[in-house]
Chains A and B, each alone.
Chain A
Amino acid sequence: MIRFLLRKTVNIVLSLFVLATATFFLMKAIPGDPFMQEKNVPDVVRQNLIKFYGFDKPMWEQYLVYLNNLIHLDLGMSMRQQYQSVSDIIARSFTYSLQLGLVAIVVSIIVGIAVGLIAALYHRKLIDKLAMLFATLGIAVPNFVLGTIIQYYFANKFRFFDVAGLNDPSDFVLPTIALSVLPIAFIARLTRSTMLEVLSADYIRTAKAKGIGSLTILIRHALRNGLLPVVSYVGPMTANIITGSVVVESIFGIAGLGKFFTMSVSNRDYTLIMGITLFYAAILMFARFLTDIAYALIDPRIKMMKKGGGGHAAG
């Protein structure tokens, strides 16, 4: 177990290093700098800004300074949001994205698996066809379309909910729907297809031949085997959703991570771009790490660690 954790940690740190390096040089490769858009700035001020942020130094030196700061977990100050450190911005905006994201994930998993299961149990019946029609729609309709439509009808026209913001629980409803329709559709399709495969497996027939009831077979024998692909999808999806959706956050006026990310890119706010990119990557890797552990817990054939001896026997 310790070896597994160690190996994973080394892996994550290495990947983050590669990512930091790549982002750093990619950003520098784009012509211009964060202060280009400032109009009417005297040349002296501009030169001072460049000097202050160290952009006059050679590239390799900037890189080393940056790495050194990273090692000390210092993401630096934002270059465009005055007097705010990147860590503060991330911490503040992430709380919104995280809250909304967690709600959306729980909803997606529960509804997605339920719909998929029902579709699999009523394979080729009307319910199955309806469920898969909605799943296809859910995958095909982009969330900026869905988001604006539900905002228009339920907030603007019928006034069931507030148009924007994230102040009380009811404000979660619309953005959650906009965020979770795609994952629900995906999870439902995935659950359906793996469950159909599992339900026709030989060991399900064995369970039937043992006289086990069909509901028990479904829960005890089929679900555990059928959920593996779903788990592997849910991991990265979780990272994706909790780090904020650019589109959904803009539509519903939520000051989440996604909003700041787009802002940082259009402002060419180097430190913020780097900070959010690394943060996103770290979350993604952590989610994958949790997925690996979940995998090993669900399927005994997958081992986190190598057990000494034992294992396969002949005879």
Chain B
Amino acid sequence: MNDNDTVLSVKELQVAFRTRSGEVQGVRNVTFDLKKGEALAIVGESGSGKSVTAQSIMRLIPSPPGMVKGGTIQFNGQNILKKSEKEMEAIRGKEMGMIFQDPMTSLNPTMTIGRQITEVLIKHQNMDKKQARLRAIEMLRLVGLPSPDQRFSQYPHEFSGGMRQRAMIAIALACDPTLLIADEPTTALDVTIQAQILELMKDLQERLGTSIILITHDLGIVADMCDRVIVMYAGKVVEEGTKDEIFKNPKHPYTRGLLRSLPRLDQPKDEPLIPIDGTPPNMANPPIGCAFCDRCDFAMKICTEVDSKMITHSETHASRCWLHHSSYREE
């Protein structure tokens, strides 16, 4: 597990939010590893805990109301959860970069794009203004912005959505981080721009050897970019595996449901998509059994009483479902 090429290792992570209606369980015992240069997708619907997991890794959960209740996050051999706020500042932006969902609001409107990039460089790389400027322009060129010299001194409102997301990527990658977390980086963009941004991220990942965690609810993006997939539901990992295992041989009924609800180019026009009925459970009071059993076609008595452990299907493939439990299969 703790190979030298493991960049990130999350173990039994629990995050909760204090609200008026009680403590909401955002992330429940999430465990996963990320290797150097690997692209991992975390997939799930809104509220499944995927963004919370990502933000916990950067320690960006607003607290209060959020709090990490348990688990460890090892990043480059350091325990992230034990770091002081000052130590975290030295890690954020330098060793981990993050790209957010909405490029329209994620850049400071009253600061030039150039300044927003040089700010990280001056903070982390001990560069003076001149060096930072050169490096920032180089970054803008790297992310494919035309005439970067001019773009450097422009403001976000002079950029289109796709260009802003490119600028965000330039900021996130400016200090050559080991880990890039992309939280729904293309959700707010046009489909054509989405493809360009993904292409760019893939290209940069190969060139710079950055490890990527891609958070998305779009399985199409996953197929495009990632080596490995984690499917989250109601704050838990319900299935994990390589891209092929997840797409060709999904084990958990939820993963199957997700894939079934995806439109395919080769499907007849009049064939309806099959949605997953029902809604996710209330996480202020999560069910004791499997969180998905209310919406599951295969739910059994045990599903409502006890949640399954992760059941291994291969070295890389596992799912949290009683259907695959040895005692059930033997019957």
- Could you tell me which A residues sit within 8 Å of B by CB distance? 201-203, 205-214, 220-221, 224-225, 298-301, 310-315
Q: Tell me the complex Cα distance, A207–B168, Å.
A: 11
- Is there contact, CB below 8 Å, between B93 and A314? no
- Is there contact, CB below 8 Å, between B60 and A208? yes
- Is there contact, CB below 8 Å, between A211 and B157? no
Flag whether B123 is at the interface (Cβ < 8 A).
Answer: yes
- Is there contact, CB below 8 Å, between B100 and A210? no
Q: Tell me the complex Cα distance, A129–B172, Å.
A: 38
Flag whether B15 is at the interface (Cβ < 8 A).
Answer: no
Residues of A within 8 A of B111 (CB): 220-221, 224
What's the minimum C-beta distance from B180 to chain A, rounded to whole angstroms? 11
- Is there contact, CB below 8 Å, between A212 and B97? no
Partner of B106, one of A206, A220, A300: A206
Q: Residue on A with the closest CB to B94?
A: A211
Residues of A within 8 A of B102 (CB): 202
- Is there contact, CB below 8 Å, between A301 and B92? no
Partner of A210, one of B85, B120, B155, B163: B120
- Is there contact, CB below 8 Å, between B155 and A300? yes
- Is there contact, CB below 8 Å, between A206 and B120? no
- Is there contact, CB below 8 Å, between B98 and A224? no
Partner of A209, one of B85, B93, B155: B93
Residues of A within 8 A of B119 (CB): 210, 212, 220
- Is there contact, CB below 8 Å, between A210 and B105? no
- Is there contact, CB below 8 Å, between B108 and A221? yes
Q: Tell me the complex Cα distance, A201–B156, Å.
A: 15
Residues of B within 8 A of A220 (CB): 111, 119
What's the minimum C-beta distance from A98 to chain B, rounded to whole angstroms? 32
Q: Tell me the complex Cα distance, A299–B156, Å.
A: 12
- Is there contact, CB below 8 Å, between B110 and A207? no
Apart from A205-B60, A299-B110, what 7 extra A-B contacts exist at CB < 8 Å? A203-B105, A206-B108, A211-B91, A212-B120, A212-B123, A224-B110, A313-B158
- Is there contact, CB below 8 Å, between B109 and A202? no
Flag whether B58 is at the interface (Cβ < 8 A).
Answer: yes
Which interface residue of A202, A206, A213, A312 has the most chain B CB atoms within 10 A? A206
Q: Residue on B with the closest CB to A214?
A: B85
Residues of A within 8 A of B199 (CB): none
- Is there contact, CB below 8 Å, between B92 and A208? yes
- Is there contact, CB below 8 Å, between A209 and B58? yes
Say yes or no: A211-B92 contact (C-beta < 8 A), given A205-B100, A221-B111: yes
Flag whether B325 is at the interface (Cβ < 8 A).
Answer: no
The 4 A-B residue pairs with the shortest CB-CB distance, nearest first, are A211-B93, A211-B92, A210-B93, A202-B105
Say yes or no: A209-B108 contact (C-beta < 8 A), given A202-B102, A311-B158, A315-B163: no
Flag whether B90 is at the interface (Cβ < 8 A).
Answer: yes
Grouping DSSP codes into helix (H, G, I), strand (E, B) and loop, the B interface class, with mixed when no group exceeds half, is mixed
Chain A proximity mask over B162-185: 1 for CB below 8 Å, otherwise 0 = 110000100110000000000000
What's the minimum C-beta distance from A79 to chain B, rounded to whole angstroms? 52
Q: Tell me the complex Cα distance, A213–B88, Å.
A: 10
Say yes or no: A209-B98 contact (C-beta < 8 A), given A300-B157, A301-B155, A314-B160: yes
- Is there contact, CB below 8 Å, between A209 and B97? yes
Q: Tell me the complex Cα distance, A313–B91, Å.
A: 34
Q: Residue on A with the closest CB to B168?
A: A206
Residues of A within 8 A of B85 (CB): 214
Flag whether B124 is at the interface (Cβ < 8 A).
Answer: yes
What's the minimum C-beta distance from B107 to chain A, rounded to whole angstroms? 6
Q: Tell me the complex Cα distance, A224–B163, Å.
A: 24
Say yes or no: A315-B109 contact (C-beta < 8 A), given A202-B100, A211-B120, A301-B155: no
- Is there contact, CB below 8 Å, between A210 and B123? yes
Q: Tell me the complex Cα distance, A211–B58, Å.
A: 10
Say yes or no: A211-B106 contact (C-beta < 8 A), given A301-B157, A314-B160: no
Flag whether B297 is at the interface (Cβ < 8 A).
Answer: no
Q: Tell me the complex Cα distance, A209–B98, Å.
A: 6
- A/B interface sample: 18 pairs, CB < 8 A: A203-B106, A203-B108, A203-B109, A205-B60, A206-B106, A208-B60, A209-B58, A209-B172, A211-B89, A211-B124, A212-B119, A213-B89, A299-B109, A312-B158, A312-B160, A313-B159, A315-B146, A315-B162
Say yes or no: A212-B105 contact (C-beta < 8 A), given A202-B100, A298-B110, A314-B160: no
Q: Tell me the complex Cα distance, A202–B107, Å.
A: 7
Say yes or no: A300-B120 contact (C-beta < 8 A), given A209-B93, A211-B90, A211-B94: no
Say yes or no: A201-B93 contact (C-beta < 8 A), given A211-B120, A211-B124: no
Q: Tell me the complex Cα distance, A206–B60, Å.
A: 10
What's the minimum C-beta distance from B58 to chain A, rounded to whole angstroms? 6
Residues of B within 8 A of A207 (CB): 108
What's the minimum C-beta distance from A190 to chain B, rounded to whole angstroms? 18
- Is there contact, CB below 8 Å, between B100 and A206? yes
What's the minimum C-beta distance from B195 to chain A, rounded to whole angstroms? 14
- Is there contact, CB below 8 Å, between A211 and B123? yes
Chain A proximity mask over B73-114: 1 for CB below 8 Å, otherwise 0 = 000000000000110111111100110101001111111000
